Amino acid sequence: MPNGNEAFLTLEEIERVASDLRRRITVQPRVGLILGSGLGPLAEAVAEATRIQASEVEGWPTSTVEGHAGVLVFGRLEGQPVFVVQGRVHYYEGYSMPRVGLPVRVMQRLGVETLIVTNAAGGVNPEFVPGDVMLITDHVNLMGMAGHSPLRGPNLDAFGPRFPDMSQAYDRELLRLVRQVAREEGITLREGVYICLGGPNFESPADLRFLRAIGVDAVGMSTVPEVIVARHGGMRVLGLSGISNKANLDGDTVTTHEEVLEAGKVIVPKLSALIKGVLRRL
Ligand code: HPA
């Protein structure tokens, strides 16, 4: 039995999980969605839904964090066949980087071509306020730079090349679509660079000054590993951050997980409108 800590995944293991799911679903998903902390309610809008408990799927990494339900939802959103992961897993929970990427690998085996990732993030850009939504235009893969890559180990040639390009990790056409939807729906959209840190602690004021200095707009503990795996496998990616708190550069305020979940309530309606708008136009 895998315990989630082995270093690398094999094509056989990924395919085992994919075929387990294939047996239980009736529609082949085209779009994958991974929902961040407090953003789970989006999954409730899925029509004709088949809901599978992640814990019943052998090999699937299950979330241990409050605000992450651990349900795989197959169905339709705005008519598009979707696969929604409600309850992502993070590196800090103890899973290996490749296993954090397993949901995306399985999506790829199921034929998903477009990945929409959402997360809750701290606003490092001083203009951002809690409740804002930020379109991710690029990321800093700090953990990958330090060697913690989901692609570490033997390359899975069935998915993509040993040295994948990251010049356009976030699909330009999808960026254009989201901006258009935001304009039409009257939603104020921030844009910027996201960074994934290892967590689980929030940042110190000095950490945050460092992040600002290197050009980061929002900080979180997810998404980048999934995007790297998605791009390795040739998927188009759209990333949206819900700004749940202002990064505390001066050390005068405290960041809590409760505040992150609370801000999700303001963010969910905006994210839903943006994502549904994009799905309608795909
Ligand atoms: N830092 C890191 N991760 C986060 C934050 C934060 O301030 N808010 C939500 N996720």
The pLDDT value given to residue 66: 72
Least confident of 81-90, 123-132, 177-186, 243-252: 243-252
Residue 115 CA, ligand 1 centroid: distance in Å: 22
Contact predicate 38/263, CB 8 Å: yes
CB atoms under 10 Å from CB of 153, counted, come to: 14
Which residues are within 8 A (CB) of 243 and not within 5 positions of it... i.e. 6 or more apart?
A: 121, 122, 123, 128, 129, 130, 131, 132, 133, 134, 190, 218, 263, 267
Confirm or reject: Cβ of 120 under 6 Å from ligand 1.
Answer: yes
The CA distance from 17 to 103, in Å, is 9
The CA distance from 73 to 32, in Å, is 10
* 203 CA: nearest ligand 1 atom: 1
Q: Which letter does DSSP use for residue 30 in this model?
A: S
pLDDT band at 261 (very low <50, low <70, confident <90, very high): confident
The CA distance from 124 to 208, in Å, is 7
Amino acid letter, residue 47: A
The CA distance from 30 to 158, in Å, is 19
Is residue 219 scored above 50 in pLDDT? yes
pLDDT band at 38 (very low <50, low <70, confident <90, very high): confident
For 36, the enclosing helix (H) or strand (E) is none
- The average pLDDT across 81-101 equals 94
CB atoms under 10 Å from CB of 117, counted, come to: 26
Residue 277 CA, ligand 1 centroid: distance in Å: 27
Predicted TM-score of the model (pTM): 0.95
- The average pLDDT across 44-59 equals 94
Confirm or reject: Cβ of 221 under 6 Å from ligand 1.
Answer: yes
Q: Which of 139, 245, 261 maximizes ligand 1 atoms within 8 Å of its Cβ, making it the mutation to test the pocket?
A: 245
Confirm or reject: Cβ of 93 under 6 Å from ligand 1.
Answer: no
- The average pLDDT across 100-120 equals 97
pLDDT band at 166 (very low <50, low <70, confident <90, very high): very high
* Higher local confidence (pLDDT), 69 or 119: 119
Is residue 2 scored above 50 in pLDDT? no
Confirm or reject: Cβ of 177 under 6 Å from ligand 1.
Answer: no
- The average pLDDT across 231-246 equals 96
Q: Which regions of the chain does DSSP assign to beta strands (E)? A: 31-35, 47-53, 71-77, 80-86, 114-123, 133-140, 189-196, 218-220, 236-246
Set out the domains of the chain in order of their start, with CATH numbers. 11-281 (3.40.50.1580)
* Higher local confidence (pLDDT), 181 or 40: 181
The pLDDT value given to residue 6: 61
Least confident of 94-108, 143-157, 171-185, 255-269: 255-269
Is residue 272 scored above 50 in pLDDT? yes
